[in-house]
Amino acid sequence: MGARTKARRRALDILYGADVRGIPILDALSAEAERAASEPERQSSWLYAREIVDGVVDHHAEIDELIETYSQGWSISRMPIVDRAVVRIGIWEVLYNDEVPTAVAIDEAVESAKLLSTDDSPGFVNGLLGRIAQTKRD
């Protein structure tokens, strides 16, 4: 597993954990930063994970608005928690991180949904991110 894939999983853990525990994302990020400081072997994945989480926090309102607009009948509150986290990461990578090709961001999100969520989640994630990617201005 590549460093960026590991970083996405770490970011997913942070976003998911904050949502499940009902705590601010920045509090979950702070707790993870403390753990990361004691695990130098995981440093390479930590930097990108933090960038993802910071990006999701910085663009949270826009990201959630896009989810509500393009999820076709699914409100954010009805989505499985893991799907919300996966989609938020995917949207941030597609729209706000020019270093990651759109197809890679979508593929990574779909793979996470396959591994961690329901049987219907990969198709949902792929369709939602595909629709949002079409709105991207180059």
Dig out the tokens for 19 from the structure. 């949502």
Contact between residue 96 and residue 59 where contact means Cβ atoms under 8 Å apart: yes
Angle separating helix axes 60-70 and 43-58, nearest 10 degrees: 70
- Which domains, and CATH codes, for the chain? 3-133 (1.10.940.10)
Please write the tens of the pLDDT for every residue from 120-129.
999 999 999 9
pTM: 0.93
2: confidence class by pLDDT, cuts 50, 70, 90: confident
